[in-house]
Amino acid sequence: QQQVKQSPQSLIVQKGGISIINCAYENTAFDYFPWYQQFPGKGPALLIAIRPDVSEKKEGRFTISFNKSAKQFSLHIMDSQPGDSATYFCAASQYYGGATNKLIFGTGTLLAVQP
Amino acid sequence: DAGITQSPRYKITETGRQVTLMCHQTWSHSYMFWYRQDLGHGLRLIYYSAAADITDKGEVPDGYVVSRSKTENFPLTLESATRSQTSVYFCASSAVKAGDEQYFGPGTRLTVT
């Protein structure tokens, strides 16, 4: 019940296209859903995050869509650029209802944006 | 420079040897975490600490030991390294406020031969 399932494992998108990465969770107590971006040789860095009281959050070209009833959330990258090529991790946590800041991560998606 | 650092960045060791990976943060964050990253498994939590002298197990703690005598340091020790512990290890820290992001270090690539 603690798993976060992420798909696809890898994704190739043309420059200017839309990249979509999906995640699903089982634990209905999760109340914080961040996405982390990781470039080769670097540690992950927070990209964007959402709480389940909203269905969508947008920051620039990056949008999280959240479907509480389906227990799914997704990352959309609009107008994908070669500089977006990285590994993306979704995660979930009981930040607000729990006692710790522990994150459960998905298995990651390697995104390649072709010029 | 302020931030979170890890040392060494690369380490090769032999099976059975003890190895300690270091993590240091300059923000005085309460929480610190150790993850391992393996292809197909993403990031898995090994141990975490809510404050100095308070540590707890994560998802994959077997074979690892942690301590936190000072807020800024959180070393991870492999007591008797095994080949299955070959991985990239990331340390992270966050403030105590709910929703605060975790800041990750640059990682340590450990190879156990």
Do B99 and A49 lie within an 8 Å CB cutoff? yes
**Phi/psi of residue A113, nearest 5 degrees:** -105, 115
8 A C-beta contact, residue B69 and residue B52: yes
Residue A110 CB coordination number (10 Å): 16
Cα→Cα distances A41→A108, B63, B105, B107, B109, Å: 15, 25, 11, 8, 10
Which whole number is the average pLDDT over A36-40?
Answer: 97
In percent, how much of chain B has pLDDT > 70? 95
CA distance A8 to A11: 7
Chain A residue set in contact with B, beta carbons under 8 Å: 2, 6, 9, 32, 34, 36, 41-46, 49, 51, 89, 95-96, 100-108
Summarize pLDDT for A43-100 with one digit per residue, the tens. Answer: 999 999 998 889 999 999 999 999 999 999 999 999 999 999 999 999 998 866 555 6
Judge whether B109 is closer than 8 Å to chain A, CB to CB: no
8 A C-beta contact, residue B14 and residue B72: no
Both tokens of A24, joined, read 């699903």
Query: What was the pLDDT predicted at B68?
Result: 95
For A59, the 3-state DSSP assignment is strand
DSSP code at position A76: E
Neighbouring residues of A32: CB distance < 8 A, sequence distance ≥ 6: A49, A51, A92, A93, A94, A95, A96, B98, B99
For A26, the 3-state DSSP assignment is coil
Summarize pLDDT for B17-35 with one digit per residue, the tens. Answer: 999 999 999 998 989 999 9
8 A C-beta contact, residue A21 and residue A75: yes
Please, which pLDDT band fits residue B99 given cuts at 50, 70 and 90? low
Summarize pLDDT for B70-85 with one digit per residue, the tens. Answer: 999 999 999 999 999 9
Query: What was the pLDDT predicted at B16?
Result: 97
Both tokens of B94, joined, read 């966050």
CA distance B62 to A45: 27
Judge whether B48 is closer than 8 Å to chain A, CB to CB: yes
Please, which pLDDT band fits residue A102 given cuts at 50, 70 and 90? confident
Do A95 and B45 lie within an 8 Å CB cutoff? no
CA distance B60 to B44: 7
Q: List b or e across B23-52, with b for residues whose CB sees 16 or more CB atoms inside 10 angstroms.
A: bbbeeebbbbbbbbbeeeebbbbbbbbbeb
